[in-house]
Structure 1
Amino acid sequence: MKHVCYSLIAASLLPASFALASDTTYPVNLTNCGVEISVASPPEQTVTVGQSATEILYSLGLADSVVGTSVWFNPVLPQFTDVNEQIERIANDDPSFEAVVNKRPDLVAVQYEWHVGPTGSVASRDQFHELGIATYIMPADCDTKDNSTGGDGTRTAAFSTESIYKGITELAEIYDVQDAGEALVTDLNAREEHAINLASSLDLPEDLSAVFWFSSTDLGVSPFVAGQLGAPGYMMDKLGIRNVIESDEEWPTVGWESIAKADPDVIVIAAMDRRRFPADDIEAKREFLHNDPVTSEMTAVRNNRIVEMDAHAMSATMRSIYGLESLAEALSTMSFN
């Protein structure tokens, strides 16, 4: 039997749309990223395609139900290192359809629709559903986002952490662990608010600007930088920072000459284990910024206002809130005089 006890203070931190925990009534029927899904009982064997889904399930105390993981950008959150080492990593990047199915999952939890979607690089949702395997895509990748445009998709409205909380709450319902879901949302909500308050307490310039550099297919070519409406846009908006990139694409490519002309006050660079492109290496990013004749003259580079952030935090994930915290803390150490 589940025991739930919340103080009024804890309950007040929850968004108004969240009620106190109750037992799941099965089947659970949801509309998930435009697809109707039905889960008849708590999933016992789950494969994750995407680090976000993996870490949320771990955070909900559901590691025992995870039989395989894939698509990793950064090391797992430190508190889950031991747990994660006991679970098979099917692939660092995209797994094959066969590798996922061979784990005999009853649910596949997915971070990006382009992995499991209409033209998924792993498979379509129909391919899994035809085998009786349910799929769940994190709402942060489809709420306020059009993935039919190709690539990383285009935001139709600004990313909000409400989509993260929605994903946590729906997964908690699917697995019948609503109390754990509400505790996690409460914690993340408090951390989000603390970071915003910290930035508000700082004497930051009114027109503080920044650019987020994720990676580049090669050093020196136009980098993948954050558009206005994704997770980095959310961070900048909450902390009172102007994004010098005006695109609504998730990760448009923009020339360094254009970025240098905009001359952001702060550059945020992604740190990751992935090595698909040369600029995935954060030390290569730093070396390029300091030695390229164009980028080395930028205000942020000359004043060493370069912030490292987990690549995973730059995607629309639970870690985006951790990224918000780390950016606020970095700003608190900087001088803009």
Structure 2
Amino acid sequence: MRIRRSVPAAALAAAAALLAGCGAQVQPAADAATPGYPVTVTNCGVERTFDAPPQRVVVNDINMTEMMFALGLQDHMAGYILSASKVDNTAVSPWKDAFSATPQLGTKINKELVQGAEADLVFAGWNYGFTDSSGVTPQALANVGIASYVLTESCRQGDSSARGIMDPIDALYTDITNLGRIFGVEERARELVDGYKQTIADAQATIPADEPAPRVFLYDGGTDQPLTVGANAAANDVITRAGGVNIFGELDDSWTSVSFAAAADRDPQVILINDYGNTTVDAKEEFLRRHPLMSTTTAVREGNFYALTYPQLTEGPQNPRAIADFAAYLGSLDAS
């Protein structure tokens, strides 16, 4: 633990006056504490301490960048990193103006880019920028003096490659609250979390209590093996809190690959498509309509397709609104 000794204000003023009379330049004490700091938060089971609000944050991916924007932290960002497959999502983002006004530093994170931006914090997640294979990890960044914050949805389960350690919506609340503390905007964080909870509660109040939950298959993409979601991805909570049931909700992971045979065997009644990338929603839907196994499912036969964007389906501030919108869609199926 660092121990800081403070000097009484009167003594500092007297010293300043004396030195000024001698023509000396007075500089603030280098170790002067920032009011309200240090703060310590627990992130993926690791305690992280900050002596002051970070000023040059590099953020990887659209959902985490939107968290920073929702908290009003654009001025604390050096910029964001976003792959070409997700740039189109910024045009329909509630924060599209903030994206336009904030530098995009690149399309793929690497240590050289981060160091070139003079980052003092990198906000990313496991498989959302942090990977052992690329060498961009919290430990590697710490070795060059750069702090990290890890998206809670992506927390690793110990030594396993499986991700997710808590309910995905709780992960969102945790990250917004932690970021609020790190940057000294706790009141804004509380307002956001309270608003998210109200939006979700209002949506859930519309779900019929006496109707069985429709079976939902999240289709991200893939023609050999579909990428879908288990229990620990934000999309799982979008499905379940909207009144559906994720057909792969028993998987103790976040985003993961399965087989089309397994998906078809579970006969989804609704297919939720992740809208991003070079493959359009229409092309993904047409692929499933023509697939020899998926074409036999209730969802395809009845044409029950619904699309949400990548930032609506990954942990971020668009999740609550996505829950409300999907709940309305599922409700319209019940009504018909």
Shift of 1:57: 0.9
Percent of residue pairs bearing the same amino acid type: 23
RMSD over aligned Cα, in angstroms?
2.5
Q: Deviations over 1:295-330 (max 9, x none)?
A: 222211121111111123322333332321221021
> How far off its partner does 1:81 sit?
1.6
Corresponding position of 1:178: 186
8 A contact 2:154–2:164 mirrored in 1: no
Of 275, 281, 284, 1:271 maps to 275
The 3 A distance-change label for structure 1 pair 316 and 84 is closer
2:287 is aligned with 1:288? yes
TM-superposed CA distance for 1:54, in Å, is: 1.0
Residue pair 2:105, 2:113 contacting (<8 A) in 1 also: yes
Change (3 A) 1:317 1:83: closer
1:146 aligns with 2:152: no
2:59 is the counterpart of 1:61: no
How far apart, CA to CA, are the structure 2 residues paired with 1:128 and 1:254? 33
Residues 121-270 of structure 1 correspond to what in structure 2 (within 5 A)?
A: 121=134, 123-142=136-155, 145-146=156-157, 148-150=159-161, 153-155=162-164, 159-200=167-208, 204=211, 206-216=212-222, 219=223, 221-245=224-248, 246-270=250-274
For the pair 1:43 / 2:54, whether they are aligned, the reply is: yes
Contact 2:154–2:254 under 8 Å retained in 1: no
In 1, Cα distance between equivalents of 2:98 and 2:245:
39
Superposition deviation, residue 231 in structure 1: 2.2
Q: What is the CA distance between 1:147 and its match in structure 2?
A: 6.8
| Residues 40 and 207 of structure 1, relative CA distance in 2, 3 Å threshold | closer
C-alpha separation in 2, matches of 1:288 and 1:207 = 26
Q: Does 1:98 align with 2:112?
A: yes
State the one-letter code of the partner of 1:225: T
Which deviates further from its counterpart, 231-240 or 175-184?
231-240
Letter in 1 for 2:311: H
> Where in structure 2 are there 5+ consecutive unaligned residues?
1-33
- Contact kept, 8 Å, 2:67 with 2:176, in 1: the verdict is yes
- 1:108 corresponds in structure 2 to 122
Partner SS state of residue 89, structure 2: coil
Quote how far apart the aligned CAs of 1:331 are: 1.2
155 and 129 in structure 1: CA distance in 2 versus 1, 3 angstrom threshold: closer
Question: 1:243-269: CA deviations, max 9, x gaps?
Answer: 222432323323223322221111111
Judged with a 3 Å threshold, the aligned counterparts in structure 2 of structure 1 residues 251 and 108 are, in CA distance, closer, same or farther, namely closer
Give the AA of the match of 2:274: A
What secondary structure sits across from 1:302 in the alignment?
helix
* Cα deviation, residue 236, structure 1: 3.3
Over alpha carbons, which structure has the higher Rg?
2
Tell me which residue corresponds to 2:304: 305
- Change over 3 Å in CA distance of 1:173–1:251 after alignment to 2: closer
Relative distance call for 1:292 and 1:234 in structure 2 (3 A) is: same
Q: 1:108–1:63: structure 2 CA closer, same or farther, 3 Å change rule?
A: same
Asked if the contact 1:26–1:41 (Cα under 8 Å) also holds between the matched residues in 2, the reply is yes
Find the residue that maps to 2:148 and give its secondary structure. Answer: strand
Per the alignment, residue 11 of structure 1 pairs with none
Distance of 1:320 and 1:295 partners within structure 2: 27
What's the TM-score once normalised by structure 2's chain length?
A: 0.80
TM-score by length of 1: 0.79
Q: What is the distance in 1 between the residues matched to 2:82 and 2:137?
A: 17
| CA deviation vs aligned residue, 1:48-99 (integer Å, no higher than 9, x gap) | 022222111111111112121013536236332222112221223x322101
* Aligned-partner residue type, residue 271 of structure 1: D
Q: For structure 1, which runs of at least 5 residues remain unmatched after alignment? A: 1-22
- Displacement, 1:194? 1.4
- 8 Å contact 2:244–2:330 — kept in the other structure? no
CA contact (8 A) 1:208 1:240 kept: yes
